[in-house]
Amino acid sequence: MTTAGPRDTLPTPRDTGDRERTPGVDHAFARTDGVNYDKAAAQQAEKRTLTSFKANLA
């Protein structure tokens, strides 16, 4: 007998295809104390995130 786990009850996320890569940055580029921190890229990513939140969660 199998039982449904928490993942079995989650809705499938919408894939809007809205993705952007920032050339020249590495993983964890937005972590302020990290070795890969890139201020300009982090600010742009934050701006994109907030724009997406306002459009999709408002």
**pLDDT tier at 1 (50, 70, 90 boundaries)?**
low
For the cut 90, the answer to whether the pLDDT of residue 5 exceeds it is no
Rounded-to-integer distance, Cα 27 and Cα 5, Å: 31
Instruction: Please give the model's pTM, rounded to 2 decimal places.
Output: 0.62
Rounded-to-integer distance, Cα 48 and Cα 16, Å: 14
For the stretch 13-51, pLDDT in tens is 666 666 777 888 888 899 999 999 999 999 999 998 898
The pLDDT value recorded for residue 12 is 67
